[in-house]
Structure 1
């Protein structure tokens, strides 16, 4: 029998770390409202949530990082009880790049698990091919111009990850024009291959397109599963030998 999302959330909530905080970071040209369905599921599972809203189209990635992440961490710590001081992250698209950029020069005490949905961890060939088209910068802003695959683009400037990271990559596209610029499989904005990063702990592919990754029940179930268990479920899930899950500080279930 197939579990409904409500039943699955109830099941996961018994195993989740009660009152852990989860920071949600939306992607480029989005707002916090894009993460509301995910936030509701996390709240129902017993987590505190901080759904960050930041002006993704108005500033470069380096500036967006300082606008989004330190205030979110402060909110987490304000609302956490003595039961837990663990902080997890769930990100969509560019939100994952913001977190990696922040961790280049900062340490998050008691950083828990991170799930990135459709992250351009190696950049996107879509940006390479259309960033010079009139209107691209006006719509996507300075940050959008930084998400290509070149050595000077932000994703290629970031090193391996050293935290418990699970990546959810989409394999369905609703934009066949953009998919023409991408190696298959892809989600219309990022190829599965370019979501990967050295040090990741797990990867799962889902038949969902980029704009809907944070809203679909099958994705939400995988997010909850990784936060609780440090791995994904199902035939499409892969587990890797990642340093973060070997360290003494890493939590295992």
Structure 2
């Protein structure tokens, strides 16, 4: 157990815990212990995901306990915390979280192929999230910092037709905001690149240490 606590790492949709390895390495260098939890984003509804993660979360006995998430992992973290908040719960940092949903999901829904691709995650990631799912996410009354990206990869002209405002290629900057957030910054990274970006990792560490992001995005851990 690290003196700085344990960071629960939650990956994004369709990913695996290993995708959080770059962030985990940065946290280890900064003196945090980490635990990357797996969940089946394409196969299981949010309720079942939480049920399956709870025993692993309960295995973290000593605090403080932090969360660092990417994409859909932020919504999973909210549901986990709402269901069974760790006694030594501390800070949360989310990278590209689709709190307001993703336009891509609704685009595929209109084409009637989203269910095949996203499975049960469709209702979690949709702009028109069902009230049943929304209620699982709970209210934010804990320190949460959000990092959004505004440098999409691919064909910018095409993605701009789907998301007219600033976005990271998957999630709009506007959709990353959440009522109750302690801090929010926008960085020049794409949705997937933010996991690997050193400046983003430095901001993650800064928030876990201080409860706010650094003024300079080039800050080092």
The TM-score with structure 1 as length reference comes to: 0.77
CA shift, 1:151, in A, is 5.0
Deviations 1:37-77 (A, max 9, x none): 11111112111110112221111122112223x23323322
Q: Partner residue of 1:225? A: 206
Between the two proteins, the alignment pairs up a number of residues equal to 213
1:216 is aligned to 2:194: no
Q: Partner residue of 2:175? A: 194
Across the aligned residues of Structure 1 and Structure 2, the Cα RMSD in angstroms comes to 2.1
Q: Partner residue of 1:31? A: 16
Q: How far apart, in 1, do the equivalents of 2:177 and 2:27 lie?
A: 24
Q: How far apart, in 1, do the equivalents of 2:132 and 2:28 lie?
A: 32
The correspondence for 2:142, drawn from 151, 163, 187, is 163
Q: What does 1:122-161 correspond to in 2, within 5 Å?
A: 122-133=100-111, 135-150=113-128, 152=130, 156-157=134-135, 158-161=137-140
Q: What does 1:11-160 correspond to in 2, within 5 Å?
A: 18-68=3-53, 70-77=54-61, 80=62, 85-133=63-111, 135-150=113-128, 152=130, 156-157=134-135, 158-160=137-139
CA shift, 1:160, in A, is 3.5
CA shift, 1:120, in A, is 0.7
CA shift, 1:184, in A, is 1.2
1:174 is aligned to 2:153: yes
Q: How far apart, in 2, do the equivalents of 1:19 and 1:159 lie?
A: 26
Moved more, 175-184 or 149-158: 149-158
Q: Is the 8 A contact 2:46 2:133 kept in 1?
A: no
Moved more, 52-61 or 171-180: 171-180
Q: Describe the SS at the equivalent of 2:147.
A: strand
Deviations 1:121-178 (A, max 9, x none): 1112221221243543333221134311115267754454110000000111114334
Q: Describe the SS at the equivalent of 1:30.
A: coil
Q: Is the 8 A contact 2:10 2:38 kept in 1?
A: yes
| Higher gyration radius (CA) | 1
Moved more, 220-229 or 152-161: 152-161
The TM-score with structure 2 as length reference comes to: 0.87
